[in-house]
Structure 1
Amino acid sequence: MLKKIPVEQLRLGMHLQAFCGAWLEHPFWRTKFVLTDPRDLALVRESAIREVWIDIAKGKDVDTPESAHSPDAAPSADDFPQPEIEQEPDPAATVPSSFSDEVKRASRIVSKGREAVVSMFQEARMGKAIEAEAAAPLVEEISNSVMRNPGALISLARLKTADDYTFMHSVAVCALMIALARQLGLDEKQTRDAGMAGLLHDLGKAMIPLEVLNKPGKLTDAEFDLVKTHPEEGYKLLLEGKDVSEVVKDVCLHHHEKVDGSGYPKRLNGETMSLFAKMGAVCDVYDAITSNRPYKAGWDPAESIKRMAEWKGHFDPMVFQAFVKSLGIYPIGSLVRLESGKLGVVIEQGEQSLLKPKVKVFFSTRAQAYITPEVIDLARSPEKIAAREDAAKWGIKDVDRWWVGDKT
């Protein structure tokens, strides 16, 4: 039986069913749990949430006079499940926004998303069953952000420390899968399934020792064989979980397959891989090679797209082409040289052409010196991109600061 109560009436032992407010307004990655920790109770009361739904069939009820709970008391509307416990959809949730407007909101989603994945991995290590439904609000927030401006969250999720890689990688692949699903024209349910699959695709790494996952040097053959068990380990965890779709289990098990049959663990090929597994393979690799790892620096986004296009037999051509369209030939964060000799970093995709993004220039290759930063919209400028560039060639460090700046 569900009841809506003010947070002031919350007490330990109550079963929280839902928060009355946006996912980002409360401090938890999931709802539907029994309040047992006084610190959690304090966090709820200190948040922007003013009302919550509780389930009195699964936890304590509010303190009321005894007569209200006597057998002869007439039932009230609050004694029965309510048909709707979620907030009405916010019409502004998916209104397109500029990169600069979206990046701050995306930063909060990425941060909370990381916390959610850390919690999921911890629960998996402790043997608790995975509840996919609990992660649905996170997938929804990521999906809405991608709808408003796909480049913001996808680009921010690429920026991760070595220790954060496993968790942030899951958030990044979730966003990439959603963007790719939209590019492929999949329906809303399929898009949400794709996002959830991206979020949970590496769950099996919870079973891999941290000293192996975060090893700063090259893995031994034995360690690499151990890491390669993560798709099957994750699949086993998902089989024991609740509300896990077949799409999620499929991507978890098969995101390391290749269309030429040389992948693992089942050596599937282009004929036997599902569309979602092919999507997962592309998204997983892109985020992996563009991210800093314990043993190597990430590649430039545009260079990564170029190299992936050259790997024959790795990706499904149709899926990869759609992936490039979803990100752009020059994804946000790519370092490019304009025909004028100026170096700049891509800060936003062009509305009409993949070849004409917005670029923030900050360096002159002719003068060999930094210049006053300036944003050039190549769709409205005679300037053109001459080539991708390697930052190290010009002695440029921390390219990402030119597009992230102080926005996060």
Structure 2
Amino acid sequence: MLKCIAVTNLRIGMFIHEFCGAWMDHPFWKSKFLLKTEKDLQRITSSSITELWIDTSKGLDVEAGVASVSTEAIAAEAESTLLAAVQSPPINLAVSMESELQRAAKLCARSKEAVISMFGDARMGQALHFEQAGELVEAISDSVMRHPNALISLARLKNADEYTYMHSVAVCALMIALARNLGLNDSQVREAGLAGLLHDIGKMAIPDVVLNKPGKLTDSEFATVRDHPEAGSRMLIESKQVSALVLDVCLHHHEKMDGSGYPHRLAGEQISLYARMGAVCDVYDAITSDRPYKKGWDPAESIRKMAEWKGHFDPLVFQAFIKTVGIYPTGSLVRLESGRIGVVMEQQAKSLLAPKVKIFFSAKSKTQIPQEILDLSKLVGRDKIVGRESAEEWGFRNVDELWTGL
């Protein structure tokens, strides 16, 4: 049985199933393992992680009287949080998903090269020049305006070795889409996009051998990684080319509402709106992307997990984010009430619970079926999404090709 417990109740002999929080909040390259040593226990308790999941079928249970929460209770609460975000529809679309995907693919390639160039200067200690950054933000903003799901979904599909650069592009697009959903003006939207593009520039101060390490980080390496917000803020200050808003997001996108984040352990209203936005966008793209040390999570599962992390995000910003990407974001693998399995193609203006889904497999007969795109908003009362599915568990390959067409 899975139970969520406080780190203070962790003890040697427990089987750790998953840490609650972003991947970089703890020094372990894997989240599932039997806790065997006092040293590993100390590393966990001294990190910013406050809660984790244990599997009592594989290790010790909590002692009598110790508080814990089951997966069922957490999932139910998370689901209610997600459903609360369905009150207003997504932004209206100017072009079709198929049309914008073609343009977005070219923009992703161009954006990656531009970010590599800018970040390369930072790594070499050269003077930073952000002339391309403004143009890039405008191009990304235009794409998001035409169809927000295209670029933010496509930018998630990155190779582990290009993560740092494409992550910046993805967070830029997510910040722009979120800013529009929050009703910010055009100038604020552009600033939010630039902040997303440059939020991780401090990672250029981290040696590649540490940044791309596929295994467990040492305490020293972990401390180096956690220094990247301050390293980035120093670079941006020296450049004298960005606003205080952009600088703030770079420095504080790892702060948490409950004060357990870093580098300054800010809490609540001490964290600016833009830094709160950055925290949500950064984590979402991080956990849905493949990394050198971990396979990315399914988009819908990631949204559900983020809803469980109490004290991490601003609830109102997070709800606006759900309205931006959907409860079942593009690329999510889902099961329908009819027993068919499909991949979410795009969101619908009528309801975040009824996206367009391309079905291709029968869970009942466990066989492939003819591919067909269903508009669930037109099938109310006849079919609906009843759960999320794992491509890995089903053995599905190249699921992303089904919705990208690329």
TM-score range, shorter chain: 0.7 to 0.9
Structure 1 residue 125, shift from structure 2 partner: 1.9
Superposed, which structure 2 residues align to 1:88-99 within 5 Å? Answer: 96-99=94-97
Once the two structures are superposed, residues 102-121 of structure 1 have per-residue CA deviations (whole angstroms, 9 ceiling, x without a partner) of: 00100111111111111011
Structure 1 residue 95, shift from structure 2 partner: 7.8
Once the two structures are superposed, residues 186-239 of structure 1 have per-residue CA deviations (whole angstroms, 9 ceiling, x without a partner) of: 001110000000000000011110111111112122111101110000000000
Q: Which residue of 1 aligns with 2:243?
A: 245
Of 304, 307, 310, which residue of structure 1 is paired with 2:305? 307
Once the two structures are superposed, residues 233-292 of structure 1 have per-residue CA deviations (whole angstroms, 9 ceiling, x without a partner) of: 000000011420111100000000000000000000112000000000000000000000
Alignment of 1:124 with 2:122, yes or no, is yes
Q: Which residue of 2 aligns with 1:142?
A: 140
**Structure 1 unaligned blocks of 5 or more:** 1-93
Query: Which of structures 1 and 2 has the bigger CA Rg?
Result: 1
Superposed, which structure 2 residues align to 1:64-79 within 5 Å? Answer: none
Q: Which residue of 2 aligns with 1:195?
A: 193
Instruction: Give me the whole-angstrom Cα distance separating, in 2, the residues matched to 1:98 and 1:336.
Output: 22
Q: Secondary structure at the match of 1:253?
A: helix
Alignment of 1:399 with 2:399, yes or no, is yes
Q: Which residue of 2 aligns with 1:228?
A: 226
Structure 1 residue 312, shift from structure 2 partner: 0.3
Structure 1 residue 394, shift from structure 2 partner: 1.8
Asked if structure 2 preserves the Cα contact closer than 8 Å seen for 1:202 and 1:230, the reply is: yes
Asked if structure 1 preserves the Cα contact closer than 8 Å seen for 2:211 and 2:225, the reply is: yes
Instruction: Give me the whole-angstrom Cα distance separating, in 2, the residues matched to 1:220 and 1:285.
Output: 22
Instruction: Give me the whole-angstrom Cα distance separating, in 2, the residues matched to 1:361 and 1:116.
Output: 37
Q: Which residue of 2 aligns with 1:297?
A: 295
Instruction: Give me the whole-angstrom Cα distance separating, in 1, the residues matched to 2:93 and 2:285.
Output: 26
Greater RCO (CA < 8 Å, at least 6 residues apart):
2
Structure 1 residue 133, shift from structure 2 partner: 4.0
Alignment of 1:345 with 2:343, yes or no, is yes
Structure 1 residue 182, shift from structure 2 partner: 0.4
Length-normalised TM-score, structure 1:
0.75
Q: Secondary structure at the match of 1:240?
A: helix
Q: Which residue of 1 aligns with 2:387?
A: 387
Q: Which residue of 1 aligns with 2:27?
A: none
Once the two structures are superposed, residues 111-154 of structure 1 have per-residue CA deviations (whole angstroms, 9 ceiling, x without a partner) of: 11111111011111222232334310100000000000001000
Once the two structures are superposed, residues 7-40 of structure 1 have per-residue CA deviations (whole angstroms, 9 ceiling, x without a partner) of: xxxxxxxxxxxxxxxxxxxxxxxxxxxxxxxxxx
Asked if structure 2 preserves the Cα contact closer than 8 Å seen for 1:131 and 1:242, the reply is: no
Asked if structure 2 preserves the Cα contact closer than 8 Å seen for 1:131 and 1:244, the reply is: no
Asked if structure 1 preserves the Cα contact closer than 8 Å seen for 2:158 and 2:289, the reply is: yes
Counterpart AA for 2:321: F
Q: Which residue of 2 aligns with 1:50?
A: none
**Structure 2 unaligned blocks of 5 or more:** 1-91
Asked if structure 2 preserves the Cα contact closer than 8 Å seen for 1:170 and 1:199, the reply is: yes
Counterpart AA for 1:244: V
Of 143, 154, 157, which residue of structure 2 is paired with 1:156? 154
Instruction: Give me the whole-angstrom Cα distance separating, in 1, the residues matched to 2:302 and 2:399.
Output: 15
Q: Which residue of 1 aligns with 2:254?
A: 256
Q: Secondary structure at the match of 1:400?
A: helix
Asked if structure 2 preserves the Cα contact closer than 8 Å seen for 1:129 and 1:242, the reply is: no
Asked if structure 2 preserves the Cα contact closer than 8 Å seen for 1:106 and 1:153, the reply is: yes
Counterpart AA for 1:308: M
Asked if structure 1 preserves the Cα contact closer than 8 Å seen for 2:333 and 2:389, the reply is: yes
Counterpart AA for 1:402: L
Q: Secondary structure at the match of 1:140?
A: helix
Query: How many residues are aligned here?
Result: 313
Shift in alpha-carbon separation, 1:350–1:119, aligned structure 2, 3 A:
same
Asked if structure 2 preserves the Cα contact closer than 8 Å seen for 1:132 and 1:242, the reply is: no
Counterpart AA for 1:171: V
Counterpart AA for 1:116: A
Percent identity, please: 64
Counterpart AA for 2:260: S
Counterpart AA for 2:387: A
